Amino acid sequence: MRKITSVVLVMLSLLFFSANIEDSNKAKSTNPPLSGDLIVFHAGSLSVPMKEITTAFKKENPSVNIMMEAAGSVECARKITELKKPCDIMASADYTVIDKLLIPNFADWNLKFASNEMAIVYTDKSKRGKEITKNNWYKIMLDKNVQIGRADPNADPCGYRSVLVSKLAEKHYKQNGLAEQLLKKDENNMRPKETDLLALLETGNVDYIFLYRSVAEQHKLKYLLLPDEINLKNSEFSELYSSVSVEINGKTPTEKITQKGEPMVYGITIPKNAPNQTVALAFLKFMLSKDKGMAILQKLGQPSVVPSATKSYDKLPAELKVFASKPKK
């Protein structure tokens, strides 16, 4: 009797073990490893964090081939809308670029994920660098012996934010005509995106540039923090920021968009025609997770705003709703 019982127990154990293997195999077959190309268009200011995030993602998903293209956020959007380039993920330095240029024809939703602030960035070689303060920076930048640079407002949010900062500075310091003086000075130093200015700065061809604080920190450059009334960082000054605006090119060559000042918030989406939606969703889940992609962004000077309210909450994929919230009515 004992022998029969032992045999039955062994058989039951074998059946249980084989069932577990079968279930495990089924799970693997229903969740195959991620693979294929992932095309990411992103703002120039995200170059350093995106490189680290994609490296970490590939460690978990070695069969995915990630192709990244950095450009001004407006230019990134136009690659999708005008050039019809394939794109799986579009990450913008200004979430409103996605709202205004991609939704509803080219994308359904938009997730806010990080913040930043504008700063005046320079190096040890910059003229009058030892004198500059938050009270005299604009006087030094207007010095005829000093060269300044900024990004193109029609190609890059950093460009139109430089214009907005100049207009807010005019108000804050009560200096009539200051914005026009700053914006007309050294126009030949304007570049398509903010990171293009770094070479000019580091070679000494330009002394000061309008740039994001995070980029300055990532490249170990000196920077001057501006008052909150100017830097487009503090949500408490939203009303003041919105009192200034700039016109930039819209969806067509003849259309213009009025861009008002507002606190700096980055946005991300998956275009409707993304070739690899499955991997794109997996990548966003990785990037927006607090202990993964967002930890990298935080480390590199870009505070997380996840979760944030989005007007397109109802159109978000179910897997991404945890990273957003419904706007208050």
Is 167 a domain residue?
yes
pLDDT score for 29 = 43
Is 3 a domain residue?
no
Residue where a domain terminates, one of 249, 275, 292: 249
Same domain, 231 and 243: yes
pLDDT score for 254 = 82
**pLDDT tens-digit readout, 116-163:** 999 999 999 999 999 999 999 999 999 999 999 999 999 999 999 999
Distances (CA, A) of 30 to 26, 33, 34, 191: 6, 10, 12, 48
- Give the chain's largest Cα–Cα span: 104
Tell me the average pLDDT across 210-237.
95
Q: How many domains does the chain have?
A: 2
Same domain, 146 and 46: no
Is 30 a domain residue?
no
pLDDT at 24 over 60: no
Distances (CA, A) of 185 to 147, 179, 216, 261, 312: 8, 10, 22, 22, 40
Question: What three-state secondary structure class fits 127?
Answer: coil
**pLDDT tens-digit readout, 256-310:** 999 999 999 999 999 999 999 999 999 999 999 999 999 999 999 999 999 999 9
What percent of the chain is modeled with pLDDT above 70? 91
Is 161 a domain residue?
yes
Is 23 a domain residue?
no
**pLDDT tens-digit readout, 295-305:** 999 999 999 99
**Of 29, 23, 117, nearest in space to 305 by CA:** 117
Which token pair is 98? 């996605």
pTM: 0.83
Mean pLDDT rounded to a whole number for the chain: 91
Q: Tell me which residue range forms the domain holding 181.
A: 118-249
Is 180 a domain residue?
yes
pLDDT score for 193 = 85
Same domain, 186 and 138: yes
Same domain, 129 and 162: yes
Residue where a domain terminates, one of 223, 249, 275: 249
Same domain, 134 and 102: no
Same domain, 94 and 139: no
Q: Are 210 and 171 in contact (CB under 8 A)?
A: no
Same domain, 129 and 197: yes
Residue 136 maps to which CATH number?
3.40.190.10
Same domain, 194 and 279: no
pLDDT score for 28 = 43
pLDDT score for 6 = 55
Is 8 a domain residue?
no
Same domain, 238 and 153: yes
Is 258 a domain residue?
no
pLDDT score for 5 = 56
Amino acid identity, residue 128? Answer: R
Same domain, 269 and 227: no
pLDDT at 22 over 70: no
pLDDT at 27 over 80: no
Which token pair is 93? 């330095």
**Of 257, 222, 226, 262, nearest in space to 241 by CA:** 262
Same domain, 123 and 223: yes
Residue where a domain terminates, one of 218, 249, 280: 249
Question: What three-state secondary structure class fits 147?
Answer: coil
Tell me the average pLDDT across 103-125.
97
Which token pair is 187? 């126009």
Which contiguous run of DSSP H or E holds residue 256?
strand 256-260
| Measured distance CA(322)–CA(305) in Å, rounded | 13
Same domain, 95 and 209: no
